[in-house]
Amino acid sequence: MTDAIRTEIAPTGTLRVGVNLSNMLLVTDRAEDGAPLGVSPDMAAAIADRLGLPYEYKTYPNPGATADAMTVGEVDIVLIAIEAERAKTIAFAPAYCEIEGTYLVPAGSRITDIDQVDRPGIRIAVAERAAYDLYLSRTLQHAELVRVLGLPAAVDLFVAEGLDVLAGLRPALIENAKDIPGSRLLDGRYTTILQSIGTATDRPAAAAFLADFCNEARASGFVAELLDRHGVAGKLAVAG
């Protein structure tokens, strides 16, 4: 490991890690001191260990705020989903794990297939600036996205306003469905959310290091080990 890579990836001498707290599959708990615990914090810690650098977590309430922190230079790396809009300002490594994005519909809904969602008059509750919001914003032609901050608020909106569809990640929607009588998940997916690690686009050596790290973490079984350790195997999958 060269000093040049360490200096580029962590110019302050400490690796500043941007962590999105809203993904409850990747951040599953908090330590007594408030530090995030889970797959993504452990991935970041392993990166710092590999580099021989001290590190600090900087936590944010949602992926949009985490991405913004990278853009304005508050952090050196971020652990969020790959998305085309974010990739304009963040250099992403190959994904280390993936999650299906799908829809939940209420009791009595006539929607039975994902292909039936993108139609005029359909209103979809969605967490603002989540990776799936960015994807749906780019791909939907007819349905209306109704945005609020965070999935819990999107669930509340879906129920309170009787919206047609709730967009989200399959594991989270499975849990949401338990509290919404008669609701059901649609089969299939509209996209696969790819979770990754990114750095600033003007740090090519750091980006190359992160790419190598993620590839090795998948191939060695380290990612699978983390999924097991934090009880999310079967909800998250190692990226293919």
Say what the pLDDT of residue 188 is. Answer: 94
Bridge partners of residue 166, in order along the sequence: 104, 125
- At 30-80, the pLDDT tens digits run 999 999 999 999 999 999 999 999 999 999 999 999 999 999 999 999 999
Say what the pLDDT of residue 1 is. Answer: 57
Domain chopping of the chain, boundaries: 3-97+194-238, 98-191
Question: Which run of H or of E encompasses 7?
Answer: helix 3-9
Tokens 């360490």 belong to which residue? 6
Say what the pLDDT of residue 2 is. Answer: 77
Cβ proximity of 69 and 29 under 8 Å = no
Domains 3-97+194-238 and 98-191 share a fold: yes
> Considering only the top CATH level, what class is 3-97+194-238?
alpha beta
Residue 234 CB: number of other CB atoms within 10 A? 9
Separation CA 187–CA 205 (nearest Å): 41
Q: Does domain 98-191 correspond to CATH entry 3.40.190.10?
A: yes
Q: Vertex 178, ends 177 and 180: CA angle to 5°?
A: 60
pTM for the full model?
A: 0.86
- pLDDT per residue, tens digit, the chain (240 aa), is 578 899 999 999 999 999 999 998 999 999 999 999 999 999 999 999 999 999 999 999 999 999 999 999 999 999 999 999 899 999 999 999 999 999 999 999 999 999 999 999 999 999 999 999 999 999 999 999 999 998 899 999 999 999 999 999 999 999 999 999 999 999 999 999 999 999 999 999 999 999 999 999 999 999 999 999 999 998 999 998
